[in-house]
């Protein structure tokens, strides 16, 4: 499978590599800036932070905060994102679809 930011965009044996590059979901994800991402747009670290649009806090919203971020720009506090109870449901969701 070729995966891009959660939506499946094709199987490697059935889709040319060119097709996903021309596909709207791929283009949309490619052009997302940190200023477009919820919570990140308010973060002082947004321009130096790495980001993976595949794992977001809300799998249905490409503009939601990265799941693997443990920083809260409103309280200026860091937490271990893996141990945050609110993120456990999303972690299980991604494990089930990606076998991660």
Sequential pLDDT tens for the chain (100 residues): 444 445 566 677 887 877 777 766 667 777 889 999 999 999 999 999 888 788 899 988 989 999 999 999 999 999 999 998 889 999 998 888 877 5
CB-CB neighbours of 74 under 10 Å = 9
CB-CB neighbours of 91 under 10 Å = 16
The confidence score (pLDDT) of residue 23 equals 66
43 φψ region: left (φ > 0), alpha (ψ -120 to 50), beta (else): beta
Residue whose structure tokens are 């947004």? 46
**Distance between CA atoms of residues 19 and 25, nearest Å:** 11
**Distance between CA atoms of residues 95 and 80, nearest Å:** 18
The confidence score (pLDDT) of residue 15 equals 79
**Distance between CA atoms of residues 49 and 46, nearest Å:** 5
* Distance of alpha carbon 94 from the chain centroid: 11
The confidence score (pLDDT) of residue 34 equals 93
The confidence score (pLDDT) of residue 17 equals 76
The confidence score (pLDDT) of residue 1 equals 47
């Amino acid at each position: 499978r070729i995966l891009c930011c959660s939506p499946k965009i094709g199987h490697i044996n059935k889709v040319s590599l060119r097709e996903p590059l021309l596909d709207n979901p791929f283009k949309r994800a490619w052009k997302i800036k940190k200023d477009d991402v919820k919570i990140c747009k308010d973060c002082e670290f947004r321009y130096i932070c790495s980001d993976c649009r595949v794992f977001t806090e809300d799998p249905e919203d490409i503009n939601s905060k990265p799941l693997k971020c443990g920083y809260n720009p409103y309280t200026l506090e860091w937490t271990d994102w893996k141990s945050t109870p609110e993120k456990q449901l999303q972690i299980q969701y991604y494990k089930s679809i990606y076998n991660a």
